[in-house]
Chain A
Amino acid sequence: MSFINYSSREINCKIVYYGPGLCGKTTNLQYVYNKTAPDAKGKMISLATETERTLFFDFLPLSLGEIRGFKTRFHLYTVPGQVFYDASRKLILKGVDGVVFVADSQIERMEANIESLDNLRTNLEEQGYNLDKLPYVVQYNKRDLPSAVPVAELKAVVNPTNVPDFEAVAPTGGGVFDTLKAVAKLVLTELKRGGNG
């Protein structure tokens, strides 16, 4: 749910990075954080376990600049990918404006990708959202790994609805900003449409 403040002239939107455990959601946010000018970002918060696995969420606030006199701010969240943190994932999806599904390209993670995507759909439906109607993009991460499945194959499995998709290598940043820009654009376009009605 975007939050539009006519008094402070701000638009605030929430983007959630979803995907199986260790697919690189946190790495996406870390790269964005490291490459963003200090005045355009806030602190990155990671609620993680002692072994650096996401426990609840990562959070990164970004300012994108002004649009028609309104400051646009995006709050990026990741969910914990591990299967047993499902209750937390549901909470983080509340109020979401846009979703990035980060798929792990490795052949051995295909099942985990499918399970996570099903889980995303189910958890969104529980909150009254339909993935097919939300601003939504897919990222094929870990393209540099030897066991990466060809994109066409991956696409057939994790992007059957043919939403905008991007190849990525999150630790070095390939595809990270393309993904973020694409989902942010979709969110703003949706906002524009919402303004019509």
Chain B
Amino acid sequence: MAGNQFLMFEEEQRRIQEACDLLARAANAEAVLVIDKNGQEIARSGDTDDLDVTSLSSLFAGNVAATGGIAKLLAEKEFSGQFHEGEKTNVHISLVAQRAILVVLFDQRSSLGLVRLRVKKASEELTRIFEAIVRKMNQGSAQTQVFSEITDDDIDNLFSE
């Protein structure tokens, strides 16, 4: 992995978006989120206008981290998925490629069985995409050079006001 950074490239972002859109449709979901394990949003699909995706991303990541911590203490490798049942909205959370969190929000128009089935398929595709990202990161794409051109002035300007 290229240093202490995780990079997202245009092609893979597009493929992740497509996979999200497809999952949202196929699972009859309200919304689908793909989140970096550290709590940053990667992609969203479905009816997300009323969602505070930034806050949700941080909390889902915290939730997954806490669950992972519990698994470790119970000598389990991991708990691969979580399901929260609400009055209107249900939430299915799973880990993809040890790197990302796939969240599906759904209501009574769908079912846990259908969501699980579609998530499995989408996870396979997302895993392939994340593997492609890691390969690109290891190749040291030329795009990373953008940051070596950042000057101290650029950084100072951010804090100028």
Which A positions have Cβ atoms within 8 angstroms of B? 1-8, 12, 14, 42-43, 45, 47, 56-57, 59, 61, 64-65, 67-68, 70, 72, 75, 87-88, 90-92, 94-95, 97, 181, 184-185, 188-192, 194-197
Chain A's closest residue to B64 (CB) is: A91
Query: Apart from A7-B9, A75-B40, A197-B3, what are 16 other A-B pairs with CB-CB below 8 Å?
Result: A3-B38, A4-B5, A5-B7, A5-B8, A5-B42, A8-B13, A61-B54, A70-B146, A75-B39, A91-B62, A92-B62, A185-B159, A191-B150, A192-B147, A192-B155, A194-B4
Are the C-beta atoms of B158 and A3 separated by less than 8 Å? no
B83 at interface (Cβ–Cβ under 8 A)?
no
Are the C-beta atoms of B54 and A195 separated by less than 8 Å? no
- Determine which of B8, B38, B144, B159 lies in contact with A195 in the assembled complex, contact meaning CB atoms within 8 Å: B144
Residues of B within 8 A of A194 (CB): 3-5, 144, 147
- Determine which of A5, A47, A57 lies in contact with B13 in the assembled complex, contact meaning CB atoms within 8 Å: A5
B10 at interface (Cβ–Cβ under 8 A)?
yes
B98 at interface (Cβ–Cβ under 8 A)?
no
Are the C-beta atoms of A2 and B6 separated by less than 8 Å? yes
Chain B's closest residue to A60 (CB) is: B58
Nearest CB of chain B from residue A39's CB, rounded to whole Å? 13
Nearest CB of chain A from residue B48's CB, rounded to whole Å? 15
